Amino acid sequence: MRKSDKREKILSLLNAHFPDPSVPLDHMDAYTLLIAVLLSAQCTDERVNQITPILFKKASKPLEMSRLSQDVIYKIIRPCGLGPQKSKAIKNLSKILVQEYQGKVPQDIDLLEKLPGVGHKTASVVVAQAFGVPSFPVDTHIHRCAQRWGLTSGKNVVTTEKDLKKFFPIEEWNKLHIQIIMYARNYCSARSCFGLECPICTSCYPKRKSKFIHKKP
């Protein structure tokens, strides 16, 4: 299959299944999205969405959060896992936002990545979904599907992000990030399909007979 044909087929199927995808993490603004994405590391979106209403009832702005003790934050977010690290990061990044950014989340991805607990993926999600800046954050779902669909060599998530940005038009990146995650969870999960069952896998590789062997991120 030609590259252009594969791209159009994938876009068509994703748009058919998830025409108007929304961020699966509940949030009110850029700051609450930042906190929710930070909490989602090694935790399900469902669990995060159960915890954030409790946390945001206590504090939904950087100034409010910076005034909470780390222990109070920890006791609320503990079910999300990695509680000590995440509670420390949430308090410290909130203090920095107040002291250096007038309580606002910066739109620059490089500035976001300098905040405690904020890696490239988290920063990419925030600039894409809160500010509309073209970005293509790659998580394990996207990394897995990109390999199965033959869009990347799969060496690591950095390579996968670069390959996907080359393959898809920039105006589609922010929407695609959510679409692929939703598609992966519903049709091309880590414990099923294996490149043999879902509509996109079978469209891209109709003659594939054996399970696809992944390269871990």
**86, 139, 163, 175: which one is catalytic?**
139
Alpha helices in the chain (DSSP H): 3-17, 30-39, 45-58, 62-67, 70-77, 83-101, 109-113, 120-131, 140-148, 157-167, 173-187, 199-204
How would you classify residue 162: left for phi > 0, otherwise alpha for psi between -120 and 50, otherwise beta? alpha
Rounded-to-integer distance, Cα 49 and Cα 45, Å: 6
**121, 155, 163, 207: which one is catalytic?**
121
How would you classify residue 2: left for phi > 0, otherwise alpha for psi between -120 and 50, otherwise beta? beta
Query: In the annotation, is 26 catalytic?
Result: no
Rounded-to-integer distance, Cα 197 and Cα 113, Å: 38
Rounded-to-integer distance, Cα 139 and Cα 182, Å: 12
Query: In the annotation, is 121 catalytic?
Result: yes
Contact 195, 201 (CB under 8 A): yes
Rounded-to-integer distance, Cα 199 and Cα 150, Å: 14
Rounded-to-integer distance, Cα 103 and Cα 53, Å: 20
Tokens representing residue 127 in the block? 């600039």
Which sequence positions are flagged as catalytic? Answer: 121, 139
